[in-house]
Chains A and B, each alone.
Chain A
């Protein structure tokens, strides 16, 4: 019999030996070491490069604020991923859900620009939330009632969302000034300042970051303190037993996709209201999202699919993105190196996750 199992089921994601809980961190360090070898091959001093990276991410209040701003969409998407993955659905649609939420909020912000801030901001956020919910919900309905694989459908929906965004930004939502000037850059006009999310300190840091952290706590309460969260987790861990226990498995899988999409959609709305104050596209999804729809998945996995663990994980990835840009400027490495470094971290983190799971299974197998 196993002794010394810590108390508090609801805190289980935090227990187990501390050593193994920190595996993602070791994986990151390993990835950075491999990155150091690559830097050496590029003829760059890795110490110099990494110190530029650290100071770029944390070196000043502006750097820190930028890191948090970059972390914010990751956290929104990551929280949605926590819900979806815990419910046993692999939601890869973060990009599309971010875009859907952002486009919907943009449309509202532009058309109701005369409204006061206290009314327009909550409305835009709600609309973004709902648009994300619908975008996730489409995949949810397809999975629940037509048994369509959610990985495929969410990826497809990403593409549809991006093309929809391109169409709107090149057509109905395009900045009228651009049209007049004949420059046709695919972006909207700047929103009315009434829609700007409040700044927290005199940096780019906006209230959306605080909202994300608050939501992380709410998602934690939702998953571990409510009957709905209990059911989502039960369905994710064992759909057969859940069905036998009277839980409508399809409905809860659908719900976890809807909620996952909604949080990402809210993140999209926060991006346009808090940071860009307009919407723009370079034709792909990443032009607007910066890849947050995918990096958010990694952040959630990094945080062991725990909403509170996703907070530091998102900040770490935000720091990687901001710091890497600084490193690029400081030591003149090609931008593809930054992409490679990001990819290395992802591969190592996912790999370490598989390793520690296998270890856990072995430990159980011998009991």
Chain B
């Protein structure tokens, strides 16, 4: 790709980007959110057209106007969200949209045979006759890769492929990717996880603000350098955790059971305790009851059995309003749905939980002067990048929106904090900041329950780590003794060893 320029109204998403991939190479594309990675790949895959620049494939200039063009040219893309039909089998999904070798008759037996061949060559273990909805996330991803290979992809784009996988699944995926590269395929690996980029890629291209900052061989790169290139300044990759004197038990869960949205038990007897000044990390692959756990504590889901105690009081079944008055703060997993009102201003979002209390209201009337100075103070204290406190929240980046949630929750001086996926989809500099804030809150004596799928985050912040699997706590380990290996096994359901 040469001199690619793509403009959106008010934004230069790609600014004269040169990018090349060699045959048999794994080339990582690294950058913060909004750096232009996805735009560039969408151009390559025919979803956008570049305003300037050209794409050369095997030395020949090509015009890619649609994903169909891209597929014909041997370009495949594995999206972050899988594009599979859950009610169809693996073979049916692979065959979907392709002409049959028998005209109007289905040729699933041919497809099945070919899938088996591909599986063997690349080590992609998948049963072609299995229904997609029965497959684990890692297996579904393998189906996506098979789909692309089946369509003859020589160049494969993987958009943050590890975001949904356990460490073991990541290792398997990496083995497959190396095998594919060995067979001569070219791979573009999009990520913002530095250690993955370092372990899998041959070369790295770092994007920042729509420009290529640098392309370098991975063997010459270090974590610190990549982070610096990505952000444009020195970044603290590990936060300093000074020892904190543990206090009383602030949050205690006793044999908690709850149903999920589909009516099946999502929590099956969870018992945990978090002390003042402690961060308890909950690790696990998503969908193992973490969301339900957070919602039960926050009063948004009624447990079917068991008890929640905050500060020694039984708060089971309390309304969210009562809980937040009792000192509970909650950073929800889906911040746009549960955390903020996107059509409210920054200021209005900052007082979402306090607007009826003094000094923000007298009687039923709101005190806009007080609210404004409060909002300005939080914007400054929490380094929220916004044109003004009156700006609509929806115009802000994900990291800044999360800082607004953080500012609102932490300035309530919580006794107990439930932080669910606090840095998901947040760029590296905002992540650094949020981590520092959570650690600072720990030093103030808040009891924090940190739920995250990011093992690095869990290991980095937690004092103790509990692993959840299928609604149960598989085990609790001390952070100093925990290893990625061991946690990964526990996340897959193996009990503490």
Neighbour of B365 across the interface among A6, A10, A225, CB < 8 A: A225
Partner of B339, one of A7, A10, A241: A241
Are A227 and B361 in touch, CB under 8 angstroms?
yes
Choose among A2, A246, A248 the residue that contacts B395 (Cβ–Cβ < 8 A).
Answer: A2
A358 interfacial by beta-carbon distance below 8 Å: no
- A55 within 8 Å of B by Cβ? no
Report the minimal beta-carbon distance from A4 to chain B, rounded to whole angstroms. 8
Tell me if B103 is interfacial: C-beta within 8 Å of chain A: no
Contact A225 B366 (CB under 8 A): yes
Interface residue count for A (Cβ, 8 Å)? 34
A245 with B387: CB separation less than 8 A: no
From A9, A231, A367, name the one whose CB has the most chain B CB atoms within 10 angstroms.
A9
- Contact call A9/B347, Cβ cutoff below 8 A: yes
Q: Which residues of B sit under 8 angstroms from A247, Cβ to Cβ?
A: 321
B148 at the interface (CB under 8 A from A): no
Contact A238 B342, beta carbon cutoff 8 Å: yes
Q: Among A1, A244, A367, which residue has the most Cβ atoms of chain B within 10 A?
A: A244
Contact B390 A230 (CB under 8 A): no
A215-231 with Cβ < 8 A to chain B: 225-228, 230-231
Decide yes or no: A2 and B387 within 8 Å by CB, A225-B366, A246-B319 being known contacts: yes
Contact (Cβ within 8 A) B341 A237: yes
Cα separation A250 to B8 with both chains bound (whole Å) = 41
A5 sits at the interface (CB 8 A): yes
Partner of A5, one of B11, B298, B368, B388: B388
* Residue pair B392, A5 in contact (C-beta under 8 Å): yes
Instruction: Provide the residues of chain B in CB contact with A363, threshold 8 Å.
Output: 9
Kindly state whether residue B476 has any CB partner on chain A within 8 Å: no
Least CB distance, A254 to chain B, in whole angstroms:
16
Q: A246-B320, A246-B321, A248-B319 are in contact. Are A227 and B348 (CB under 8 A)?
A: no
**Bound complex: CA of A12 vs CA of B390, how far in Å?**
9
Q: Please tell me if the beta carbons of B9 and A244 are within 8 angstroms of each other in the complex.
A: no
- For the complex, give the distance between the alpha carbons of A243 and B11 in Å: 35
B313: interface (CB < 8 Å): no
B298-A244 in contact (CB<8A): yes
Question: A328 an interface residue at 8 Å Cβ cutoff?
Answer: no
Is B300's CB within 8 Å of the partner chain A?
Answer: yes
| Stretch from B249-257, B281-289, B349-357, B484-492 contacting the other chain | B349-357
0/1 interface trace, chain B 367-380, chain A, CB 8 Å (1 if under): 01000000000000
Asked whether A5 and B390 contact (CB < 8 A) given A237-B342, A237-B343, A241-B341, the answer is yes
A227–B332 CB distance below 8 A: no
Answer whether A5 and B321 are a contact pair too, CB < 8 Å, given A237-B342, A244-B338.
no
Residues of the B chain whose Cβ atoms lie less than 8 Å from the Cβ of A230: 348, 355, 366
Q: Contacts A227-B355, A246-B324, A366-B9 given: A5-B391 contact, CB under 8 Å? A: yes
B364 located at the interface, meaning its Cβ lies under 8 Å from any Cβ of chain A in the complex: yes
Interface string of A344-364 (1 = CB under 8 A from B): 000000000000000000011
**Beta-carbon contact of B341 and A242 below 8 Å:** yes
The verdict on B16 contacting chain A, using a C-beta distance below 8 Å, is no
Looking at the complex, which one of A8, A9, A367 makes contact with B10 (CB distance below 8 Å)? A367
What's the least CB distance linking B269 to chain A, in Å?
25
Interface residue? A282 (CB, 8 A): no
B138 to chain A, nearest CB (A): 30
Report if A311 contacts B (CB, 8 A). no
A234 in the interface (beta carbon within 8 A) = yes
Contacts of A242 in B (CB 8 A): 341, 352
The minimal Cβ–Cβ distance linking A17 to chain B, given in whole angstroms, is 13
Are A238 and B395 in contact (CB-based, < 8 A)? no
Partner of A246, one of B353, B385, B386: B353
A241 touching B340 by the CB < 8 A rule?
yes
- Could you say which residues of chain A place their CB within 8 Å of the CB of B347? 9
Nearest Cβ in chain B — how far from A278, in angstroms?
A: 38
Min CB distance A146 to B, Å, is 19
Measured between beta carbons, the chain A residues less than 8 angstroms from B343 are: 237-238
In the complex, which residues of chain A have a beta carbon less than 8 angstroms from the beta carbon of B368? 10, 225
Q: In the complex the two chains form, is B353's CB within 8 Å of A238's CB?
A: no
Interface status of B394 (Cβ within 8 A of chain A) = yes
Q: Which residues of A contact B298 (CB under 8 A)?
A: 244
Q: Which of B325, B345, B365 contacts A226 (CB 8 A)?
A: B365
Q: What are the 5 closest A-B residue pairs judged by CB atoms, nearest first? A: A246-B321, A9-B345, A366-B8, A238-B341, A245-B352
With A4-B387, A248-B319, A366-B11 known, 9 other A-B pairs at CB within 8 A are A5-B391, A7-B390, A10-B368, A230-B366, A240-B337, A241-B337, A244-B298, A244-B330, A247-B321
Q: Chain B residues in contact with chain A, CB under 8 A?
A: 8-11, 298, 300, 319-325, 330, 332, 337-345, 347-348, 352-353, 355-356, 361, 364-366, 368, 385-388, 390-392, 394-395
18 contacts between A and B (CB under 8 A): A2-B10, A7-B388, A9-B345, A12-B392, A226-B364, A234-B344, A237-B343, A241-B352, A242-B341, A244-B298, A244-B330, A244-B338, A245-B324, A246-B321, A246-B322, A246-B353, A363-B9, A366-B11
